[in-house]
Structure 1
Amino acid sequence: MQLDRRSNNLLKEVLTNPQIKSISLESKYELSRRQISYSFEKINHWLLTKNLPPINRNRQGMFLIEPILIETLLSKQENNAMKELVLTEETRIQIILLMMISQIDETLSLNHFTHALDVSKNTVLHDIKQAQLIIQEDDLTIHYSRKAGYYIEGEEFFIRKLLVHLINRLLFVQNKQLFLSEIMRLSNQELVEMTLRVERIENQLNLKFTDEKIDALPFSLIIILKRIRAGMFIGDLPVKHDELTYTKEWQAVYELFDETEHIPDSERVFFTLHLLITNIYWSDLHKQDIVPSLMIAINEMLTKFEKYACMVIKDRDQLINKLLIHVKPAYYRIKFELTDIDQLHQPVGAEFSELQHLVKKAITPLAQLIGQDIPDHEITYLSMLIGGWLARQGEHLNKKIKAVIVCPKGVSVSKMMDSVLKEIFPEFVFLDSLSVREFYQFQLDYDIVFSLIHLETDRKVFIVKSFPEKEEKLWLRQQVMGYLYGYSNDVINVEELINVIEKDATILNKTNLTKRIYSFINQQGTSTPLLTEEEPTPHLAELIPATNITLRKNIKSWNEAIRVTAQPLLRKGAITHQYVDAVIEHCQEDPYIVIGDGLAIPHASPENGVLHVGMSLLRIEEGVTFAHDYSIKIIILIAALDKHQHFKALTELLKLAGTRADLLKIKQAKVKKEITDTFKKYQQL
């Protein structure tokens, strides 16, 4: 068993200062009484595992320390973090590389590594060979001489890039701060001072870095400064001095240096870039320096996404602000090829693949602004943000079970967790998504917590995955409902219940009815509703059967074309006349509905009269004029009820739109079957 950093610090404090009182600890470490008590419960449990007496307190709040504790713990240093770890080969290699980069004032020999890793010299030599294979991709080389010992040679930029990567990876081990400080030979005072500097930078920039970055930055910044003071300067960077001097980060960098310290401008550029690419979870955008044209590019991207997804995004300005929080650091990561520092480690479930595909189609304005293709993992982050926003559209929360979400991984993963958990628990009120620091300062009352990591709290915490599969979602719901209501294993299949109701009644809003059924079941407290496997989303050929196709030689106007296209959906009760009027009005504001040569996909927001998902097609042999610039021969009217059901069909339609030969077949089709056969080809792609 290991002590966490907080408990370890508290133990050291009371051993070196037995007269200190609980209230003084609360003030010094900015902890609540509950957190202090919880930490000492863990300390006493750890002491018992060492066959040592526990620490007690008297009525005055003073700690009662047995002399054997001071003698044993302070003299033998039982809390050594390295010795309690069983290291994998991958971790050993990372430690060796980090020691070479950080311990520049040491002449590192095999003995240094064998002592630190507690392995044989042969094992260390093997690990060094493997380490060389890893770093040679960046033209870095491990050298050894009797005078200099082991060290890494190569461009300083890539050495620092490796440093940041290693710190990020090793932060996942237990007791991470103590572990890293031992590897890098850093004192607690150095780390505290640098952490305070980073927090001052946060205040100056009016933002908050993610928990992972606030942990990592002090380590990387201290070592980089040490390397600079040892004369290890950065070479030419892919960014010019003038490109960054306008940013607030350029000014904030001065917080990192001593007033009398001379730092070359090239190093200030590097530190500015280091801050700019660091993930944040909150920012006051009104006080931020936004990259010129970045907001315009995001707005154009959303316009394209609306076109491809056939959705109207509500509260668009708010979503743009949310995207800016992620896109600003991503802009610099991509532009200067630093994206491998912040990779997404857990794959997104298959159910998001179609959404991600549409985001990738729409992302061209951002790629053009940056001048490079957007990496897939950055597209995944943007897809999660947009998907989470769409999931919340039109949702009305009632005060029922109150929950909070805790995610240390930043805004993108946090927003995805929010979307997934609201899907699993549509009847809950999710008060907020919080970082770990925010969680311990959160003032509102709540019933349960969903978190990626263990938390010290007296409320029930459910540990969840960032992207649970369907079986895991079902298991989680059963566990939570069992805790809240004491449910038996009896299961109600809500989807089948909805299907039964549909046989004898018209359901105007299936989503709202589903939520009401969940709420009713929860109030009765007798059964657990079953989150069933979603029905397969329909293909294009299934959404546009022959009965939904109309063939005309000519037509008088665009508005008439829309009304003719809508007739099959009106007859089948998929849409109302109000929706047709809304589509006509929306087309006047949106010229981007043309997605291919002579192909347009008009649509409007679901609340304007979509009753269930559907598509209909009008083929006009002679074409009809749209927006003065287009001759449209194929109109596909889309009625989208939610964010999932039509995505597969849309994906197929977008592929068809880029295939001139198949578009020509539809334009020249004599019978409807020729069109439906063309659609069926795309089911196999």
Structure 2
Amino acid sequence: MSKMTLAAQPKLTQREIDLLNQLLHQETPVTLVQIGAEMSLSEHQIRYALSKINHFLSQHSLRWVTLDRDRLTLPQPQETQKALAYFVSHTTPAQFRYSQTQMQRFILLKLLLSEQPLSTNYFMAALYRSRTTVVKTLTEVRAICAGLGLEMEHVKRSGYLVNGPKFKKLVVFLRLLMSTINIREIYSFYYRDNIYSKMGELVLFNVFELDQLLTALQKTMVYTKDTTGIDDTDFFLLTILNYKLAEMSSTSRLADQQEVLPLAELAEQIFANGRQGDLAMERTLTEQLNHHVEDALGLEEPFTAAFSNVLSHHLRRVLFREENELPPVVPPSEFMPGDQKHLRQIVAAGITKFDIPCFSSTDIDLVTAFYASELEKQKPQSWQPPRILVVCVEGPALAHILRNQLSRLMPSDQIDLAAVYEVTESKLQSYDLIISTVKLPSADQEKVLLLKPPFSTDLLPAVQQRLATMVRSCVITDDAQFTAVTAAVRATTLSLDEQKELERQLRGILTVG
């Protein structure tokens, strides 16, 4: 066996080492059910561990563990035993070492989600660190909890427990989770069993009970399928609520109505965030604000019902998050389309006039941008553009702004919106261009335009460049069609030089046979 440097060796956690040892000591092929019962692992955990083991075997030029009709077979046991023995004998704690911040976040996430005290030994095993290091980190976590208005208690002979209002603990957990790992990683793991980061693996396999997490994700996807206006923050809060309810059910704690009812009521509040019949107040506020803006600007045409519907859902999210201290949407400074100081003053005056509570300066900026993008919409062009999907992790309101900006280049009915959790491989295949504010590993990367930041002023030029390469198969020889193309270009708000350049490129492309 060729020796590998420690840096080059693939990482095997204790779970993979134990599983490989189990397979090495089996005289006959063993089933997934048998190995799961022996090691107290779910089928999902075993399959993921096997993918790590097979990667380890590939690095040593050994054949993979095979899975045939639910039976596991290790083709080269003697050679595998040697490779594993070398790995274990040369493994140092540095290979499993996490930074101090990563350890703090992991410990706090686990304590926030746990209803029972957790021992120091648990964190030592999960983090591969000494008792001294773990105790020091727990002291740091205690200070973090105090700053958050929570109390970390040491229960004698049991371990550590975070005390505080249950909903507040969930909100802090949600904020910390979304800042610790990319939420796309959770979707990718659900759909494709892929994990892309060290912290993602640590959190998914050690903070959560994996089977309960997958069940909670599945349940949330089912009953939010027909819900409009829900974004990823709401989605994951619902998932965590479902997870906690499943946890209570598995431990026969559902009889405690004092714990269950607040969670059920909270879930119902979030449902109201997307249900048509529960937006009476928000629709009234939207109608009043629309009339205010229309009168102030002297508009002849009222805002559309589609625009009012999306704005109503956005107002609902703002009010709900402020009431419950959820993380707000903070768009980048570049998203404002042009100089909109006058429009912002009109919107701010309307919000004050109609006594809409809980609106921060950022919220006013976002609603101003929402109105500005709606006012900038142009009539559809005469040529048939490709189908486009806009995926925005910040939520449907900001995705709607992106669509309105893109409608300067093509009809808005060719542009669909989707939350990240709705994106599947089959859905992506039906679109010609995907514009996303977050990486989409499951998509054909040639079709994806990643926006960084989401509302960059480079959006339209980048899309124009993509469109220019996508319409080469079109053939236009009719003068009337050329005239239509020219009119469509000149209907945009681009500068004269930009219009001429775009017109020249389109004419050159569309005449290619």
TM-score for the superposition, normalised by structure 1 = 0.50
The secondary structure found in structure 1 opposite 2:383 is: coil
Paired residues for 1:164-313 under 5 Å: 164-172=174-182, 174=185, 175=195, 179-188=202-211, 190-202=212-224, 206-207=227-228, 209-211=230-232, 213-215=234-236, 217-223=238-244, 226=247, 261-264=254-257, 267-277=260-270, 283=274, 285=276, 288-290=277-279, 292-309=280-297, 311=299
Paired residues for 1:34-45 under 5 Å: none
Amino acid at match of 1:103: S
Paired residues for 1:499-514 under 5 Å: 511=493
The secondary structure found in structure 1 opposite 2:157 is: coil
TM superposition shift of 1:122: 5.3
Against the structure 1 CA distance between its residues 326 and 16, is the aligned structure 2 distance closer, same or farther, given a 3 Å change threshold?
Answer: farther
CA contact (8 A) 2:378 2:491 kept: no
1:104 aligns to 2:112 (yes or no): no
1:349 aligns to 2:337 (yes or no): no
Distance 1:86 1:422 in 2: 49
Distance 2:272 2:508 in 1: 44
Which residue is equivalent to 1:467? 454
Larger radius of gyration: 1
Which residue is equivalent to 2:160? 150
CA contact (8 A) 2:311 2:397 kept: no
Which residue is equivalent to 1:396? 381
Amino acid at match of 1:271: A
1:385 aligns to 2:408 (yes or no): no
Which residue is equivalent to 2:442? 456
Q: 123, 136, 151: which is aligned to 1:141?
A: 151
CA contact (8 A) 1:384 1:413 kept: no
TM superposition shift of 1:364: 5.9
CA contact (8 A) 2:282 2:313 kept: no
TM superposition shift of 1:448: 2.7
Distance 2:59 2:253 in 1: 50
Which residue is equivalent to 1:331? 319
Against the structure 1 CA distance between its residues 411 and 63, is the aligned structure 2 distance closer, same or farther, given a 3 Å change threshold?
Answer: same
TM superposition shift of 1:428: 10
Distance 1:387 1:106 in 2: 52
Distance 1:480 1:410 in 2: 25
Which residue is equivalent to 1:160? 170
Which residue is equivalent to 1:522? 506
Distance 1:122 1:397 in 2: 70
Distance 1:55 1:103 in 2: 35
Distance 2:97 2:404 in 1: 37
1:435 aligns to 2:419 (yes or no): yes
Amino acid at match of 1:108: S
Amino acid at match of 2:109: L
1:295-318 Cα distance to aligned partner (Å, 9 max, x none): 111111122233455555644322
1:318 aligns to 2:306 (yes or no): yes
CA contact (8 A) 1:450 1:461 kept: yes
Against the structure 1 CA distance between its residues 54 and 270, is the aligned structure 2 distance closer, same or farther, given a 3 Å change threshold?
Answer: closer
The secondary structure found in structure 1 opposite 2:278 is: coil
Against the structure 1 CA distance between its residues 510 and 367, is the aligned structure 2 distance closer, same or farther, given a 3 Å change threshold?
Answer: closer
Larger strand share, 1 or 2: 1
Distance 2:246 2:268 in 1: 14
Which residue is equivalent to 1:640? none
1:156-205 Cα distance to aligned partner (Å, 9 max, x none): 343233223233333427538754342324131x22333343345436x7
CA contact (8 A) 1:406 1:439 kept: no
Which residue is equivalent to 2:4? none
1:269-289 Cα distance to aligned partner (Å, 9 max, x none): 443234534797xx562xx32
Which residue is equivalent to 2:15? none
Q: 388, 410, 418: which is aligned to 2:403?
A: 418
CA contact (8 A) 1:167 1:219 kept: no
1:85-143 Cα distance to aligned partner (Å, 9 max, x none): 8745443322111121223334322x433432344555545544443444334421223
Against the structure 1 CA distance between its residues 217 and 302, is the aligned structure 2 distance closer, same or farther, given a 3 Å change threshold?
Answer: same
Against the structure 1 CA distance between its residues 154 and 369, is the aligned structure 2 distance closer, same or farther, given a 3 Å change threshold?
Answer: farther
Against the structure 1 CA distance between its residues 440 and 214, is the aligned structure 2 distance closer, same or farther, given a 3 Å change threshold?
Answer: farther
Distance 1:152 1:259 in 2: 22
Which residue is equivalent to 1:676? none
The secondary structure found in structure 1 opposite 2:314 is: helix
CA contact (8 A) 2:391 2:418 kept: yes
Amino acid at match of 1:194: A
Distance 2:377 2:52 in 1: 40
Q: 56, 64, 67: which is aligned to 2:74?
A: 67
Q: How many residues align?
A: 428
Against the structure 1 CA distance between its residues 260 and 467, is the aligned structure 2 distance closer, same or farther, given a 3 Å change threshold?
Answer: closer
The secondary structure found in structure 1 opposite 2:401 is: helix
The secondary structure found in structure 2 opposite 1:223 is: helix
Query: For the aligned residues, what is the CA RMSD?
Result: 5.2
Amino acid at match of 2:435: F
TM-score for the superposition, normalised by structure 2 = 0.64
Against the structure 1 CA distance between its residues 128 and 310, is the aligned structure 2 distance closer, same or farther, given a 3 Å change threshold?
Answer: farther
The secondary structure found in structure 1 opposite 2:123 is: helix
1:630-663 Cα distance to aligned partner (Å, 9 max, x none): xxxxxxxxxxxxxxxxxxxxxxxxxxxxxxxxxx
Amino acid at match of 2:442: E
Distance 1:300 1:47 in 2: 66
1:477-499 Cα distance to aligned partner (Å, 9 max, x none): 5577568769xxxxxxxxxxxxx
Distance 2:56 2:344 in 1: 50
Against the structure 1 CA distance between its residues 333 and 262, is the aligned structure 2 distance closer, same or farther, given a 3 Å change threshold?
Answer: same
CA contact (8 A) 1:427 1:519 kept: no
Against the structure 1 CA distance between its residues 445 and 55, is the aligned structure 2 distance closer, same or farther, given a 3 Å change threshold?
Answer: farther
Aligned residues with identical type, % of pairs? 14
TM superposition shift of 1:415: 1.9
Structure 1: which 5+ runs fail to align? 3-14, 19-28, 30-40, 230-255, 487-500, 502-506, 527-685
The secondary structure found in structure 1 opposite 2:357 is: coil
Amino acid at match of 1:299: E
Distance 1:426 1:159 in 2: 45
Against the structure 1 CA distance between its residues 431 and 293, is the aligned structure 2 distance closer, same or farther, given a 3 Å change threshold?
Answer: closer
